Structure 1
Amino acid sequence: MTLFDRIKKIAKAKGYSLSEVSRQSGIGEKSIYTWKPSKTYPDGIIPKHDTLQKVADVLGVSVDYLLGNTDEKKPTEEPVDLDKVLSDEGMAMFNGQPLSEDYKKALLAMLRTMDNGE
């Protein structure tokens, strides 16, 4: 099944037209139709990852599911142990920027204070 076919199938199951999925994704209204297989592109055109992510978000599935890399619509997410992430050396990020060690220590102290208050 091609990318276009998967998007069309999921959209139909959710009661969306492809134009509506495009609009909700913030991409051109007919963009998804350009991903349909053709003589020039037998597998269809694969859009940029960020564009595909917007469509996946609207449809409530993962990009890997849309691309046919997995049959799992949404990956199961593992919980994050903030105590470990903020205590360990290494990178923690917020808003696309790495947190300094001072910020990590301050966040950890704040979380520990909140935990003691319960």
Structure 2
Amino acid sequence: MTMFDRVKEISKKRGLSLAQLNEKAGFKQNVIYSWKTKTPSIDKVESVAKVLGVSVDYLLGKEEKSKDQDYDGEVEEALNSARMYQGKPISDTQRETIKGIVKAYLDAQNKDK
């Protein structure tokens, strides 16, 4: 996967178009799109990583996991330890709903950074 592909994928997970990401990073129009064929400077990669809430190493393909994947594991672990609420078992459907709520909250927090 290319860096452009990684940027595009994580932007989508964050609910940002590439144009919005480009703007939030403070770039001129279509800078990120140019990464399909050009190698960006490290300062531009750092800006995008900061907006997306991932490491530069992740964008460069040096890390296999993004923070999203770490969140997934941590959320799953927390849900595994909470099998009951107010003396009643938590169903699989409720667990998935709770997981979705937590992930949406974490994503919203990352957008604000």
| Shorter-chain TM band | 0.5 to 0.7
**Displaced runs of 4+ in structure 1, greater than 3 A?**
none
| Aligned-pair CA distance for 1:55 | 0.4
Distance 1:64 1:29 in 2: 25
1:4-47 deviation line (CA, Å, top 9, x unaligned):
100000000110000100100011221011011xxxxxxx3221
Partner of 2:25: 25
Mapping of 1:6-17 within 5 angstroms?
A: 6-17=6-17
TM normalised by structure 1 equals: 0.54
Gaps of 5+ in 1: 37-43, 75-118
Q: CA RMSD in A?
A: 1.1
Say which of 69, 78, 83 aligns to 2:62: 69
Report how many residues are paired.
67
Give the structure with higher Rg (CA). Answer: 1
Distance 1:35 1:59 in 2: 16
SS in 2 for 1:72: coil
Percent identity, aligned pairs only, is: 48
Q: Is the 8 A contact 1:11 1:59 kept in 2?
A: yes
Q: With CA pairs under 8 Å and 6+ residues apart, which has the higher RCO, 1 or 2?
A: 2
| Aligned-pair CA distance for 1:73 | 2.5
Looking at secondary structure, tell me which structure has more helix per residue: 2
Gaps of 5+ in 2: 68-113
Partner of 1:56: 49
Distance 2:45 2:3 in 1: 10
TM normalised by structure 2 equals: 0.56
